[in-house]
């Protein structure tokens, strides 16, 4: 696997150089994939080992850790602040609306940190742990690999109000999603669609999409964009007034694999979250062509996802 991964990283790296004219769009010049080569050369392998162990009992953990990295980066940059607990001076981002009783995987992050501290005490930042864990999680699920720029510093403060306002939400319209991506320096078409493709694995609680099933936009009716067969299946899983903590697969076809099926699902109106389906069902949206491209060309999706992850992680 490691030989195959090395070849895949090389392809992704070459694509990155071609796409950006040979120079990464990185305002943080200190970030480098080789940052730990001398001080903790086995960091990625150590993180991968912990993830492989965790996946044996929790097939969701890769998607959960990838989500932690996303939610970290959308609030004042990728600084590990999502990991901070409440103190007398810190209001934890863990209790922000998008994260409360939703963000998960913190115990595995603790396990990774302990393993790294045993091998390389005081070297690898928590922010970099999240970035590497996201890449390894995607790779282990069959997705692309990329050389993760490293050297982030951990924040000593959290921003709960920023998490409430900045993290994209499952119920938001395409216009709102675009504004939130633009606010963190991401493209509102290719980056938005590529990064949304992370919903090709993982789960979501009924509470995050049940309004689509019964009372979309206050209409007392389901979301008209929902495939009717898929709607019936979701209503059976998530009955009105039922347990909002029940989870559904974000990708009903290949729930734990990182592939292009997420986009094919959108084409048949089987996006689980409103924020997913909006990419394809918003009339005249520039995201539709990107969805169609990724649905038919998994290589294009994988290459774009790697580029977008690097771009998101540069702050």
Say whether 128 counts as a known binding-site residue: no
Say whether 79 counts as a known binding-site residue: yes
Say whether 75 counts as a known binding-site residue: yes
Task: Select which of 60, 67, 69, 71 is catalytic.
Answer: 71
- Residue 174: partners with Cβ closer than 8 Å, 6 or more residues away: 278, 279, 282, 285, 287
In contact, 31 and 151? CB cutoff 8 Å: yes
Say whether 81 counts as a known binding-site residue: yes
Question: Quick check: is 71 catalytic?
Answer: yes
The helix, strand and coil proportions of the chain, stated in percent and rounded to the nearest 5, come to 55, 5, 45
DSSP-based three-state secondary structure for 248: strand
- Number of CB atoms found within 10 A of residue 228's CB: 10
DSSP-based three-state secondary structure for 251: coil
- Calpha distance 106→255 (Å, rounded): 22
Say whether 168 counts as a known binding-site residue: yes
- For residue 68, what are the CA distances in angstroms to 39, 163, 221, 286? 25, 12, 33, 28
Say whether 259 counts as a known binding-site residue: yes
Token pair of 62 as six digits: 């890769």
Beta strands per DSSP E along the chain? 203-205, 247-249
- Residue 269: partners with Cβ closer than 8 Å, 6 or more residues away: 225, 226, 227, 230, 277, 280, 281
Say whether 8 counts as a known binding-site residue: no
Say whether 11 counts as a known binding-site residue: no
Say whether 102 counts as a known binding-site residue: no
Say whether 95 counts as a known binding-site residue: no
Residues that constitute the known binding site: 72, 75, 77, 79, 81, 93, 168, 199-200, 251, 254, 259
Residues annotated as binding site for Ca(2+)? 72, 75, 77, 79, 81, 93, 200, 251, 254, 259
Q: Known catalytic residues?
A: 71
């Amino acid at each position: 696997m490691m030989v195959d991964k090395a070849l895949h990283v090389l392809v992704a790296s070459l694509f990155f150089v071609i796409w950006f004219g040979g120079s990464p769009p990185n305002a943080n010049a200190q970030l480098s994939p080789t940052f730990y080569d001398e001080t903790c050369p086995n960091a990625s392998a150590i993180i991968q080992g912990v993830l492989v162990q965790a996946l044996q009992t929790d097939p969701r953990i890769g998607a959960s850790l990838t989500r932690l990295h996303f939610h970290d980066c959308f609030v004042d940059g990728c600084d590990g602040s999502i990991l901070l607990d409440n103190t007398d001076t810190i209001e934890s981002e863990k209790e922000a609306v998008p994260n409360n009783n939703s963000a998960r995987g913190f115990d595995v992050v603790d396990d990774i940190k302990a393993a790294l501290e045993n091998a390389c005490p005081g070297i690898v930042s928590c922010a970099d742990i999240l970035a590497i864990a996201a890449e390894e999680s995607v790779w282990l699920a069959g997705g692309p690999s990329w050389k993760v720029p490293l050297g982030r510093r951990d924040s000593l403060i959290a921003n709960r109000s920023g998490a409430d306002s900045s993290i994209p939400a499952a119920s938001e319209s395409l216009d709102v999603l675009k504004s939130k991506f633009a606010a963190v320096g991401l493209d509102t078409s290719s980056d938005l669609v590529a990064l949304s493709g992370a919903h090709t694995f993982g789960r979501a609680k009924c509470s995050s999409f049940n309004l689509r099933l019964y009372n979309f936009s206050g209409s007392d009716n389901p979301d008209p964009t929902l495939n009717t067969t898929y709607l019936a299946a979701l209503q059976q899983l998530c009955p009105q007034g039922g347990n909002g903590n029940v989870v559904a697969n974000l990708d009903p076809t290949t729930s734990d694999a990182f592939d292009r099926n997420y986009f094919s699902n959108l084409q048949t109106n089987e996006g689980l979250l409103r924020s997913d389906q909006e990419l394809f069902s918003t009339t005249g949206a520039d995201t539709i062509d990107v969805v169609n491209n990724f649905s038919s060309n998994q290589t294009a999706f994988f290459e774009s996802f790697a580029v977008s992850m690097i771009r998101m992680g540069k702050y």
